[in-house]
Structure 1
Amino acid sequence: MKYKSVFDIIGPVMVGPSSSHTAGAARIGRVARMLLGGQPTRAEITFYGSFAKTYKGHGSDVATVAGILDFDTHDLRLKDSLRIAKDLGIEVVLRTSEQVTEHPNTSRICLSDGEKTVEVVGVSIGGGKIEIIEINGFDFQLAFHAPTLMVLHEDRFGMIAGVAEVLTRHRINVGHMEVSRRVRGAEALMAIETDAEISPQVLEEIRQIPHIMNVALISPA
């Protein structure tokens, strides 16, 4: 693993006690919220492995809910997130699973706002860093450390080229890209990390491409 600065080695500014079990958990929750596009009315959280064994003592439960509430890792409201969520009318369901996962610090978060649902599987890899390995059944390996464009589209010829043409026209450089599909010829999900922020105008131009179903922009978590 490469580090950009000494602060990546020391760890993030955060409410304790653990960068893996607290800061990482909060960031997974925050990514799930951004993918939903706002505050949910229901949150189902399942912890696996080490998360499942120690989530209460290490605060992974309150941290995950804090992320879902869009609190940063250093927000002192983190420890009161379960109460705050209840006051806001958010139903929170916490579960643990004995299923063996590839990484011990794994959580599955399913959020719903009554109209939309998003399900995310994330792992906390240490130092507050995370990877998202599944989004609504699509397999990925995303860190969300740069602005990331998520494009749901029909799985057909020319979709990647169409999105790339818009980004090229606006001189937006792509740092990393993944495309995942569950079934050939059905739906596919494109994830594009960029070197610069993407304006609402660019998002709207991408939405106007034929066979695009949904577009979302995820800021660094």
Structure 2
Amino acid sequence: MRFKHVFSIIGPVMVGPSSSHTAGAVRIGRVARQLLGQKPEQAVVTLYGSFAETYSGHGTDLAIVGGLLDFGTDDERIPDAYVEADKAGLRVEFRQGEEFRPHPNFAEIAVFAGGREVKVSGASIGGGNIEIHSMNGFAANCSGYYPTLVISHDDRVGVLASITGAVSGARLNIGFMNVDRKERSGAAMTVIECDRRPDGELLDAISRLPHINEVTVIDLT
């Protein structure tokens, strides 16, 4: 990953102790929360590598719970995240995974609410930066650094052209785009990092396009 400025290296304004084990973990939790799109009721978090070995000492568990509550990296409630989760009716279970993952600071999060489930996997790569590897089983490969459109759709001819046309029509610049599909003509997901947050008018326009199933915005800014 190419660091964008000095704060990408030294880390964001945050509740510590670690930009990778705390700030990055908050952001992974927030991605899962925002992908769910509502207050979570239950979460199962599996930690790997260094996250699994040191999470309680470095506050990684508190950070992820705080992220699931949509706290920012500098939210002073993070040290009391379990208390805040109880108040919010959120139950969180932590597990330690032993399998190999592509980064030592890696987490897989399954979040549930109202019969809905979403899954996110990602790594904290230093300086509070993250890489989201997958969302709901689709490759995502996004950073969470920019406002991000997550679009679930059918794999059909013309769908991507209609999505990018709608984004262009809203005069919104695409900084990164990733597309993954389960199988030919099956379910697919498009992830678009934008230079600014998409407004409600654009979200409605994309939602009305043929073969679009769901549109979500993830914004950690």
CA distance in 2, matches of 1:119, 1:107: 11
Per-residue Cα deviation, 1:146-195 (whole angstroms, up to 9, x for no partner):
11111100011000001111112222211110001122211000011112
SS for the counterpart of 1:76 is coil
Query: Match for residue 120 of structure 2?
Result: 120
CA distance in 2, matches of 1:95, 1:9: 29
The offset of 1:88, in angstroms, is: 1.9
Q: Note if 1:31 corresponds to 2:37.
A: no
CA distance in 2, matches of 1:110, 1:173: 31
Gapped regions of structure 2 (runs ≥ 5) = none
Name the amino acid aligned to 1:52: A
The offset of 1:9, in angstroms, is: 2.2
SS for the counterpart of 1:46 is strand
Name the amino acid aligned to 1:60: T
The offset of 1:17, in angstroms, is: 0.9
Q: Note if 1:142 corresponds to 2:116.
A: no
CA distance in 1, matches of 2:60, 2:158: 42
Query: Match for residue 89 of structure 2?
Result: 89
Q: Note if 1:44 corresponds to 2:47.
A: no
Query: 4+ residue runs of structure 1 moved beyond 3 angstroms?
Result: none
The offset of 1:196, in angstroms, is: 2.5
CA distance in 1, matches of 2:53, 2:113: 29
CA distance in 1, matches of 2:24, 2:48: 14
Select between 19-28 and 163-172 the one with higher mean Cα deviation.
163-172
SS for the counterpart of 2:77 is helix
CA distance in 2, matches of 1:11, 1:178: 26
Give the TM-score, by structure 1 length. Answer: 0.96
Query: Match for residue 63 of structure 1?
Result: 63
Task: Verify the 8 A CA contact 2:147 2:217 in the aligned structure 1.
Answer: yes
Per-residue Cα deviation, 1:68-108 (whole angstroms, up to 9, x for no partner):
00111111110110121122211111111111111110000
Matches within 5 A, 1:13-28: 13-28=13-28
Query: Match for residue 155 of structure 2?
Result: 155
CA distance in 2, matches of 1:202, 1:78: 33
Matches within 5 A, 1:154-173: 154-173=154-173
Per-residue Cα deviation, 1:113-157 (whole angstroms, up to 9, x for no partner):
123110000100001100100111111211011111111000110
Query: Match for residue 6 of structure 1?
Result: 6
RMSD, matched Cα: 1.1
Query: Match for residue 74 of structure 2?
Result: 74
Aligned residues: 221
